[in-house]
Amino acid sequence: MAFTPREFYIADVVDERRDRTAIAYLLPAPLPAGAPTPQPSDLQGGTRAAIQQFIRQSLPADKSLRPLTIRLQEYQLTETLVPGSTAQVEGKVTLVMHFEWERNGKTIPLTDYRGSARYTRPVQQRIAAEAVLRQSLVTGLTYLNTWINQEAPRSSKLATNLKLAFTDYTQNTEEDTIFYDSARPLTWADFRGAPRPGKAAAVVYSSFAYQGLPTIEQGQVHLNLNLKVFVVRSSSWVSPTGRDAYNLNHEQRHFDIVKLVVERFKQHIKNDPLINVDYYQGNLQYQYLQSFREMNRLQDQYDAETQGSPMAQERWNHSIDEELRAYGVKAKS
């Protein structure tokens, strides 16, 4: 081979040809009298074994690279007389290969190679069939090497790893939405909804979401998750008698709990082995739903434990602040 693979090695060859009885059908030289019939001929040891041996001897197998499988779909050399001639033989070799690789237990189809070549020879001259077949295989593998070198830096099919990053959206420029910023606590001016009847003095509508579009950089999938912890002003309200510091702190802590859940969400993502280059989309959504349920459970628990109990409120204040400091959201005291 005129190249050394930098992106792959051939791990296996699978023979999927419909006709596996012979790789070549050659006319004898010299031709016998009458209508000549091509004679079947195969590579020593069989086609699959011969190709595997050739690849082992010709291409270094660096096991740190991508393990590719060749699916041999067609590979045959056939000779016939040139139409209208009894002195010339025409040969045609056809090669069709499909390339794929296993990544995280998932088969990734890559590309196909379809090649053919023709030659003519005098009827009395034998052809080096093995050399013709070898050259067609070399051409197919050279195509693979060129294709994969071009595609590896930019193709998700060839990405070897998922690299996650997180950003927190804090741009408070929207009229009806406040995004979490530890330097910008809630004020009563953020509660713009109409008060509703009931025992509650105030209600804050807080939640979270994430956005992220993958990009391919140097053979890796880069996914930056932009996390949004927010309060909807028009859905948050306070009663005329509820505007005091105690109630505002209580509602702020609802907002803080959402931020805590999002920080835990980040850790779940980082530690989930199923969030990888092949399966990150569905598993990200799964972790999001799990965290969303956790958020609702914590909010209900918080309200149930602090209702009418300043001491319980103070315990929650302390617990929330400690965890926010541990995640670096709040400065350590």
Q: With helix as H, strand as E and coil as C, how does 203-264 read?
A: ECCEEEEEECCCEEECCEEEEEEEEEEEEEHHHCEECCCCCCHHHHHHHHHHHHHHHHHHHH
State the pLDDT at residue 218. Answer: 87
Q: Could you tell me which of 156, 75, 83, 155 has the C-alpha nearest to residue 120?
A: 83
Q: How are beta strands 8-15 and 237-238 bridged, if at all?
A: unpaired
Q: Is residue 60 part of a domain?
A: yes
Domain co-membership, 69 together with 165: no
Has residue 315 got a pLDDT over 80?
yes
Domain co-membership, 53 together with 167: no
Domain co-membership, 208 together with 292: yes
Q: How many residues does the chain have?
A: 333
Q: Is residue 213 part of a domain?
A: yes
Domain co-membership, 184 together with 300: yes
Domain co-membership, 167 together with 122: no
Domain co-membership, 115 together with 222: no
State the pLDDT at residue 239. Answer: 96
User: CB burial class (10 A; 0-12, 13-18, 19+) of residue 164?
Assistant: middle
Segment 58-82 shows an average pLDDT of 95
Burial 263-276 (b: 16+ CB within 10 A, else e): bbbbebbeeeeebb
Which residues, including other chains, have CB under 8 Å from residue 236's CB and lie 6 or more apart?
190, 191, 192, 193, 202, 203, 204, 205, 251
Domain co-membership, 173 together with 315: yes
Q: Is residue 36 part of a domain?
A: yes
Segment 296-314 shows an average pLDDT of 96
Domain co-membership, 165 together with 306: yes
Q: Is residue 3 part of a domain?
A: no
| Backbone φ/ψ region at 104: left (φ over 0), alpha (ψ -120 to 50), beta | left
CA–CA dist 299, 65 (Å, integer): 48
State the pLDDT at residue 40. Answer: 94
Domain co-membership, 178 together with 305: yes
Q: Which of 132, 153, 174 is the last residue of a domain?
A: 153
State the pLDDT at residue 274. Answer: 86
Question: What average pLDDT does the chain have?
Answer: 94
Which one is predicted more confidently, 210 or 125?
A: 210
The CATH number of the domain where 53 resides is what?
3.30.160
Confidence of residue 86 (pLDDT cuts 50, 70, 90): confident
Segment 296-305 shows an average pLDDT of 97
Has residue 33 got a pLDDT over 80?
no
State the pLDDT at residue 199. Answer: 87
Q: Is residue 286 part of a domain?
A: yes
Confidence of residue 195 (pLDDT cuts 50, 70, 90): very high
CA–CA dist 143, 224 (Å, integer): 34
Domain co-membership, 33 together with 85: yes
State the pLDDT at residue 126. Answer: 84
State the pLDDT at residue 76. Answer: 96
Confidence of residue 8 (pLDDT cuts 50, 70, 90): very high
Q: What is the DSSP letter of 194?
A: P
State the pLDDT at residue 72. Answer: 97
Has residue 35 got a pLDDT over 80?
no
Q: Is residue 84 part of a domain?
A: yes
User: CB burial class (10 A; 0-12, 13-18, 19+) of residue 35?
Assistant: exposed
Domain co-membership, 141 together with 198: no
Which residues, including other chains, have CB under 8 Å from residue 307's CB and lie 6 or more apart?
none
Give the N- to C-terminal CA distance of the chain in Å, as an integer: 66
Q: Which of 123, 153, 183 is the last residue of a domain?
A: 153
- Rounded percentage of the chain residues whose pLDDT exceeds 90: 83
Q: Count the domains in the chain.
A: 2
Has residue 259 got a pLDDT over 90?
yes
Q: Is residue 53 part of a domain?
A: yes
Has residue 333 got a pLDDT over 80?
no
State the pLDDT at residue 294. Answer: 98
- Rounded percentage of the chain residues whose pLDDT exceeds 70: 100
Residue-wise pLDDT for 215-233, tens only, equals 999 889 999 999 999 999 9
Q: Is residue 108 part of a domain?
A: yes
Confidence of residue 128 (pLDDT cuts 50, 70, 90): confident
Domain co-membership, 140 together with 224: no
State the pLDDT at residue 238. Answer: 97
Q: Which of 96, 124, 153 is the last residue of a domain?
A: 153
165: containing domain: 161-326
Confidence of residue 112 (pLDDT cuts 50, 70, 90): very high
Q: What is the DSSP letter of 23?
A: S
pTM for the complete prediction? 0.79
Q: How are beta strands 66-81 and 8-15 bridged, if at all?
A: parallel
State the pLDDT at residue 183. Answer: 92
